[in-house]
Chain A
Amino acid sequence: MRALLTSLAAGSMIAVAVAQQQAATPQQTGTPARLEAINGKMARVFLQGLADGNLTFQPFGSPNNMTVETSKVRRFEFYPKFEVGGAGQSYAEGDYPAVLQALAEPMQEFAPYMSVSNNLQEAYVMLMDSYLRSGDAGKAEECAALLLASDNPVIVRKGKSTLALAAAAKGDFQRVEELRSELDSPAGSLFLQAIVERANQQPKAAIQHVAEIIADHGNDLEWMPQAELLSAQLYLDMGQTNSAALTARQVKNIYAGSNIAADAAKLQASLGLTDEPQGEQQDEQQSE
């Protein structure tokens, strides 16, 4: 997260320089970016649009549109005019409305290009996840759909899993099943199964699948944090408040610094628990 914030801050400084350069070439419009082709060549461009796998842009200083296949492009370097470091901090704190407030509008300009690797992709994923966790499944789906065309399997998987989770949030379990079978992740597949079972009021079945993730995929850091948070929620669903609270506390501690830890802290707080370290709580219990 620190790296992300640093890179985002650096991006904003570059943005100032580019903005100054833009001022010198008033006729050109579009999204300024540095384009890296697959052969390693770099070019300063103004992106005009991306559709059907084709990218349209204007080279810096030229008003003529050029079109290339996106497969020929390795990466973009954008120069966002907005500060996204704070949004990253908000995300880590689980403050999803703040993330949306900071990113939703300014990211619109860059959204069409998110299938290509770029320096805002991580922020975009953060935005997508914030939509999902704020309950706006439709927006999350829109974001996720744009990632599916990426040639990066990790990004595609994030897109697919978000689509599945959004479908689950909408109660479209048939779609979840379709996406689950496409997801190249045993842990992810189990997680979605558990989500569907939870939605169908089957917490017992769900928690057994979550336990399977924890036992068999304990080092899958993509799915483990949310699986453990789900475990806490399922314990709560089943009325096992103490287990829910203890699980939430562990998630908060183990994944400290992440949005999942922040969500776990919220759950813990909702159960009326203090934020004391385990040792101190034990000491107190002993003294009682």
Chain B
Amino acid sequence: MMGDRKTRCRAALRPFFLAMVLVLGSALAGRAQEKTSAEMLKDALKLMEAGKYEDAASTMYMYLGEVEESKLPRVVFIAQDVRFKLATILIKSERLDEAAEILRQYVEKPYAAFPRQARKMLATCYYESSMYEECVGAVTNALYYNEHAEEIEKQARTAKDEDGEEVEDYGKIDIKPEAPYTPEDLTMLHLTLAEAYFKLGDHWRDCIEPYEYVIANTANEQRKGYAIMQIINALIEIPDFGRIMEWVPQLYRTSARYDIRVNLALLNAAAALYEAEQYDSALPLYRMILPRDVLVEYQEARIREMRVAEGLPPEMGEEMTEDEKLLFGVADDASATNGVPAVEEEKSKELRELEVLVAALKKLEPYETHVDFRMAELYKAVERFWEGLKFFERVYAVVPEQDIGERSIYEMVDILLNRLDEPAEAERRGFDYMVGHKEGITPRQLAYLLTGYYQKNDSMAAIKPLKPYLDTFVRTNDATIVQYDTELYFMQGVADLIMQNYEKSEVSFKYVLDEFPGSHQEANALYWYSMSQIFLQKWLEAYPNFEKYIRQFPDGQYIDECQFQSGICLFGQEKYEEAKERFTYVIENYPESSVFPEACSMRGDLYGAEGELDLAIADYEKAIAASKRVQQATYATFQEAAIYEAWEEDAENLDKLISIVQRYLDQWKSEADVAKGLFWIGKTMIQQKRYDEAVQTYLRAIVDFGGDLRQDGVDLMINELLKISRVYLDAEQRGNLIKSLDEALAASGSDVLSLRLRVALAKLTGSEIELGNKLIHELPDLESAPPPVLAVICDASFEMKDYSRAEEILRLFRNRFEDSDFMRAAYKLRAYGQYAEQDYEGALKTVEDAQGLYGTEYDVAWAQLMKAQILLDQGKIDESREANRFVLGIRAWRGEAVAQATYQLGQVEERAGDEAVDSKEKSRKWRQSFAFYQRTYFQYKGHANGLWAAEAYLASARVLEKLGPEFANDVRNTYRAMLYDAYVNYLPQAEVARKYLGSAETAEIAAFLEAGNTTNLTISVETDMPVGTTGSDAVKQQPQTAAPASEGEVADGGAGTDEPASADDAAMAGDEGDTAMEGAE
């Protein structure tokens, strides 16, 4: 087909062409004057029959020139017949312009035997000549004529000529009426009309109706599909996307996809719909597109079939075999040259067109991977992520190194991370890729994706393992890559910072500053580098860096922060005046800054330190007024409260204190640190001796905020309330408090509040364990349990050694109450549960987590003791020894924890002795072990209800037995000492001693004790422990006259005896020397 330009040319040339035909006809007629028109006609027909179309056409032109003027019906009739034949010849010769002109004349003149056929041919000629407007007219005329043939012919018979005279009576010649168009003719005419409208470009709406006719009337699947495709294209052009979905399902059900033109049109239409975000329409179109090779294979098979059907060998351009010659015959056309079989000349137009299309298709690059990629994008866009992932996988598998392959791996990781929540799979693919790809932007993009995901999910620790990959990426000067590298390393620093690894974050940000000077992150890196130093209290180093930021980035995002932090550095260097000036600078220049309240508070602190309390209060008030975050208000409020408290104690100051705290609570409501606020209020009220009011304050706050599960400040208040109750309230007041709590519980409409109130009541009445037991059964689902409730459940479970819900409770705390102080009970329960299951690694991890959170606080000694015990169970004797000794050095753990640690040290040395090969070493270790056991029952008998002392007695006897028969008497004396010891002789462990000693001796001891006597029986064994020595391995038995002290007194005394802990520790730390563990009393 020709282009528009050609169309315009031909339209312009048409009058010229017509004139030329007439002139040529006249000239030829003149030249052939010697021949009559009848002879010319005869010649023309002969030439036509001989297949000499060019000559036949010339002769016909001559003939028509000759008879042009004649109006004789017979001549007109014959001329019409010649015109029809001439048009047919011209079409065969592909002289379509000329054919169209002749046909136009034919249909306008009378005596047309084939008026329908001619009109159809005329339409085809116009179409094939790209004369689409004329084509539209011709088809419209043809269709109209088909419906109104009789009427039109009748009018023609009575038509008048140009002079107004009636023309000849054309009815004189009887012409057999031509049959109406067949359904196939009509379909083709409509298709031609639709195509012509479509080709015109601005008749999109007009083309739809004839296409619809084709769809409704053709049985040819591919033609139907093509027509639907064209309607879709027209609707895209209009645009009328809403109607497209009427057609897409129909198209989807046809086999039109096997048509090359449809297939290629699908590509364009689908792309247009995708661009227009018409995903529902684009999706099935993309699906229908066949891979190039599949389509080529299908169409080549079709070509072979068509060639065979047309009597050609199945394969084009090949010499026929003898068999094929026999089968298909051999053309004897002498014009066949260059090895091209002569039969090629006989191919139908349809076959030739198909061959051209297949050849063009073969020249195309395979497009299916691009289609897959687009499908993947499409599925992702419509949130069908699993399908999108699958298509991206296909693309990546085929072209991993191409652009779309790289885009695909990126998209896959993105989908897995951010859409399907499959981080493990995303990491696997991302890291695999990064291992094999060190260059270019894609590995960096993947690293960036992962970094972003970890950041979004508060998994900053996961960012760090990316660094080794980053370090292997090949650096370039490409600006985008440099930007990615900067960003990735910057995020490494951020991860360090958020994980509070300030040493590392200092290094990381320094790296960004050194490696990527002038980067887009330079200012931020400098700021966070300086902040890391601040966190490390490197005031001296940080100060010049903040100053550098101020100089280099005066308009930087953190300029106000840097001014403020410079002040902090000065403060840290104890340059208070300079610091105060800097805070003043911030206050005066950055009143809207986020650090303004902090600057005010810091200056307030400085004024306060100088005794300028009014100025300090003024600054705190400014800070409170400007606070944007609750923390800012909290600090300033309670600093101000502290000033009022420190000030001369008078009623006015205390009232002011209460009022500022109340103002803070009112202003910040649930965000406020209620516990702290009410602590201050309560504390002040207690100073004012307003105990009942203090209680009511707490009580009101508990009721007001206690229904909110996350308001863990309320939980701290419950503890405060209990303290007040114990210290300041008398029995009646305590009774009133219990009554108030009962009433609040009865009125509570909130499960969470009710649970909190029940815990408060249980604590007041000392029935926490009982409540915990009840709640274990009452609350199968712990989702609505606030931290104190979880804690009492932990305590009760611990008491019963029921660890079944330990993991669940700890998980709840971690997920929901990670800052709660009550979580320590959950750690303990969980660790004991794991220990009971001999999950030593799990228990050690829990211990580590607990210690990470609570350090060496008094009630977390169990963690260190358990760690030591696990290490011993694992046979790590030296590590266990170290772990136990660590306990002895912690002041907060004196007492029961030290008792246990001392006992465990005995176990450590006993085990060391058990495992020693050398008998001397064995003896030495057992003796050390004995010393620790003895120390335990001497010095710590008052702790843990004598538990460790009792165990230590038994362990001592055991070790003495191991030392040999010469210590048999010592064993006996140890058991005797145990029964004399009022702290342990009632415990179950004492039964071992009784059994050993027998009933007579046991009775003797009992009688001795019943008589009110006491004794201090000391077993002395020579050891190589440091600190003093008796130099004797004899066992001494000394009567003691002092009566046993009460448990409480001994407990206190015990604390005294092992004071200072460092001395104990020193005593136990030595490996050499002798010591005697003697009764101190």
Contacts and interface: CB of A to CB of B under 8 A. Distances in A.
Q: Is this pair of chains taken from one and the same complex?
A: yes
Interface of A: 207-208, 210-212, 214-215, 218-219, 221, 231, 235, 240, 242-243, 246-247, 249-250, 253-257, 277-280, 282
A254 B391 contact: no
Contacts of B252: 221, 254
Contact of B386 (A231, A246, A256, A278): A231
29 contacts: A207-B386, A208-B390, A211-B386, A211-B389, A211-B390, A212-B390, A214-B387, A215-B390, A215-B391, A215-B394, A221-B252, A221-B253, A231-B384, A242-B383, A243-B383, A243-B384, A246-B382, A246-B383, A247-B384, A250-B283, A250-B384, A254-B284, A255-B249, A256-B246, A256-B249, A257-B249, A278-B279, A279-B278, A282-B277
Contact of B390 (A214, A221, A246): A214
B887 interface: no
Given A211-B390, A219-B257, 20 more contacts: A208-B386, A211-B386, A211-B389, A215-B372, A215-B394, A219-B288, A221-B253, A235-B384, A240-B383, A240-B385, A246-B383, A250-B382, A253-B245, A253-B280, A254-B252, A254-B280, A254-B283, A255-B249, A256-B245, A278-B241
Given A215-B391, A253-B249, A277-B245, A210 B386 contact: yes
B387 A231 contact: yes
A280 B278 CA distance: 11
B436 interface: no
A113 to B, nearest CB: 29
B287 interface: yes
B242 A277 contact: yes
Contacts of A208: 386, 390
Contacts of A214: 387, 390
A278 B280 contact: yes
B248 interface: yes
A59 to B, nearest CB: 36
Contacts of A218: 287
Interface in B351-404: 372, 375, 382-387, 389-391, 394
Contacts of B288: 219
Nearest to A251: B280
A243 B391 CA distance: 17
Contacts of B391: 215
Contacts, number: 72
Contacts of B257: 219
Interface residues of B, number: 30
Interface in B85-111: none
A219 B390 CA distance: 16
B107 to A, nearest CB: 39
Given A219-B257, A255-B249, A256-B249, A249 B390 contact: no
B295 to A, nearest CB: 12
Contacts of B383: 240, 242-243, 246
Contact of B384 (A212, A246, A257): A246
Contacts of B281: 253
Contacts of A257: 249
Dominant SS at the A interface? Answer: helix
Contacts of A254: 248-249, 252, 280, 283-284
Interface in B653-670: none
A92 to B, nearest CB: 12
Contacts of B278: 278-279
Nearest to B383: A243
B290 to A, nearest CB: 8
Nearest to B283: A250
A241 B694 CA distance: 52
B287 to A, nearest CB: 4
Contacts of A221: 252-253
Nearest to A257: B249
Q: Which 9 A-B pairs have the closest CB atoms?
A: A211-B390, A218-B287, A243-B383, A256-B249, A215-B390, A207-B386, A253-B280, A211-B386, A211-B387
A210 B702 CA distance: 54
Given A214-B390, A277-B245, A279-B241, A219 B287 contact: yes
Interface string B271-295: 0000001111101100110000000
A249 B245 CA distance: 12
Contacts of B246: 256
A180 B288 CA distance: 27
**Which of A246, A256, A278, A282 counts the most B-chain CB atoms under 10 A from its CB?**
A278
A257 B249 CA distance: 9
**Which of A210, A221, A243, A247 counts the most B-chain CB atoms under 10 A from its CB?**
A243
Contacts of B389: 211
Interface in B5-31: none
Contacts of B287: 218-219
B27 to A, nearest CB: 62
A46 B982 CA distance: 110
Nearest to B241: A279
Contacts of B390: 208, 211-212, 214-215
A237 to B, nearest CB: 12
Interface in B254-307: 257, 277-281, 283-284, 287-288
Nearest to A247: B384
A253 to B, nearest CB: 5
Contacts of A211: 386-387, 389-390
A212 B284 CA distance: 16
Interface string B966-1001: 000000000000000000000000000000000000
B426 to A, nearest CB: 14
A254 B384 CA distance: 15
Contacts of A282: 277
**Which of A207, A240, A249, A279 counts the most B-chain CB atoms under 10 A from its CB?**
A279
B70 to A, nearest CB: 57
A93 to B, nearest CB: 15
A212 B385 CA distance: 13
Contacts of A207: 386
Nearest to B288: A219
Contacts of B245: 253, 256, 277
**Which of B280, B375, B382, B394 counts the most A-chain CB atoms under 10 A from its CB?**
B280
Contacts of A210: 386-387
A98 B124 CA distance: 52
A257 B247 CA distance: 12
A207 B384 CA distance: 10
B52 to A, nearest CB: 50
A249 B384 contact: no
A218 B389 CA distance: 15
Contacts of A247: 382, 384
A19 B249 CA distance: 40
Contacts of B241: 278-279
A278 B283 CA distance: 13
Contacts of A280: 242
Contacts of A253: 245, 248-249, 280-281
Contacts of A256: 245-246, 249
A41 to B, nearest CB: 28
Contacts of A240: 383, 385
Contacts of B394: 215
Contacts of A231: 384, 386-387
A207 B288 CA distance: 22
Interface in B607-650: none
**Which of A215, A219, A242, A257 counts the most B-chain CB atoms under 10 A from its CB?**
A215
Interface in B472-523: none
Interface string B848-884: 0000000000000000000000000000000000000
A185 to B, nearest CB: 18
Interface string B433-475: 0000000000000000000000000000000000000000000
Contacts of A243: 383-385
A2 to B, nearest CB: 11
Interface string B1023-1037: 000000000000000
A279 B280 CA distance: 10
